[in-house]
């Protein structure tokens, strides 16, 4: 097995007196996809938020390669989220007033690149995901599957080391969700990045290389090995239009990159 890229040791996170995470260990290697499963309220999204540097654990540590990231300043963690991490949300959470190409370019512009220099790779990513000709369409003018692919393009345009996906197919019909998940898995494999997916869907979890289950803030049972990175052939019908409320759990989408 390849050395881990992202690791966490003995993570503890409390909200009031109740522990959302109670001594959780985690690791993900380059090219690996890890599904995080468990009932609602078990700590799945809290684990993702701690791994991604959105919130700090109360105890334990998180490392990207050899760098400890949970102890970094908010400014440095924000920079890490813009440059080394990428995020795919359940409802896409695209900004409704921006066309597709500007939604994709947003992380690059927030990191200081000019609009012109940001739009070129954004358009290339849209073409690669089969969205050529949709660059000027706003989220309300896209199907559910198209909008989620725009969100995927936004996640991948920074060429991340780790992609975090929280219920990435939860707002899509089954066929469209299969298509989006196939593109996500294939692209992460091409980048040799790590993928961490929070999901309630056992079909999605089975497509990842490994599954862990969290219950009451602790890992439950032995990790399960899935089918790994498998492509998805064919087209899918349009799904429902995504919600554009701009929320990631309890975090506005802008806060992820701030």
| Cα–Cα distance for residue pair 204/181, rounded to 1 Å | 8
Residue 234's pLDDT is 30
Residue 255 has pLDDT above 70, yes or no: no
Per the DSSP assignment, residues forming a β-bridge with 9 are 61
| Confidence band of 55 (pLDDT split at 50, 70, 90) | very high
Residue 164's pLDDT is 95
Structure-block tokens of residue 20 = 């959302």
Average pLDDT for residues 81-94, to the nearest whole number?
Answer: 84
Structure-block tokens of residue 3 = 């050395």
| Confidence band of 16 (pLDDT split at 50, 70, 90) | confident
Range of the domain at 232: 6-95+160-257
pLDDT, tens digit, for every residue of 139-179?
Answer: 999 998 899 889 999 999 999 999 999 988 887 888 888 88
* Tally of domains within the chain: 1
| Confidence band of 206 (pLDDT split at 50, 70, 90) | very high
Q: Is residue 104 part of a domain?
A: no
Residue 251 has pLDDT above 50, yes or no: no
Q: Is residue 238 part of a domain?
A: yes
pTM of the full predicted structure? Answer: 0.81
Three-class secondary structure assignment of 200-228: CCHHHHHCCCEEEEEECCEECCCCEECCC
| Confidence band of 180 (pLDDT split at 50, 70, 90) | confident
Q: Is residue 154 part of a domain?
A: no
- Domain of 14: which CATH number? 3.40.50.300
Q: How many residues does the chain have?
A: 258
| Confidence band of 94 (pLDDT split at 50, 70, 90) | very high
């Amino acid at each position: 097995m390849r050395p881990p890229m992202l690791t966490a040791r003995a993570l503890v996170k409390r909200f009031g007196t109740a522990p959302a995470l109670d001594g959780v260990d985690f690791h993900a290697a380059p090219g690996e996809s890890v599904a995080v499963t468990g009932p609602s309220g078990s700590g799945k999204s809290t684990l993702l938020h701690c791994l991604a540097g959105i919130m700090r654990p109360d105890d334990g540590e998180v490392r990207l390669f050899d760098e400890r990231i949970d102890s970094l300043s908010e400014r440095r963690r924000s920079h890490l989220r813009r440059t080394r991490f990428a995020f795919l949300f359940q409802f896409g959470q695209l900004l409704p007033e921006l066309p597709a190409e500007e939604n994709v370019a947003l992380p690059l512009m927030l990191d200081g690149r000019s609009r012109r220099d940001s739009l070129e790779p954004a358009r290339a990513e849209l073409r690669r995901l089969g969205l050529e000709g949709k660059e000027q369409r706003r989220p309300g003018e896209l199907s559910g599957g198209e909008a989620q692919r725009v969100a995927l393009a936004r996640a991948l345009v920074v060429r991340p080391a780790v992609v975090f996906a929280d219920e990435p197919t939860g707002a899509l019909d089954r066929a469209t969700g299969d298509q989006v998940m196939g593109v996500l898995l294939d692209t992460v494999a091409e980048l040799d990045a790590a993928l961490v997916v929070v999901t309630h869907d056992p079909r999605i979890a089975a497509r990842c290389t490994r599954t862990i289950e969290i219950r009451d803030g602790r890992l439950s049972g032995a990790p399960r090995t899935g089918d790994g990175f498998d492509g998805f052939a064919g087209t899918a019908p349009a799904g429902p239009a995504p919600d554009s409320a701009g929320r990631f759990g309890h975090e506005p989408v802008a806060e992820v990159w701030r």
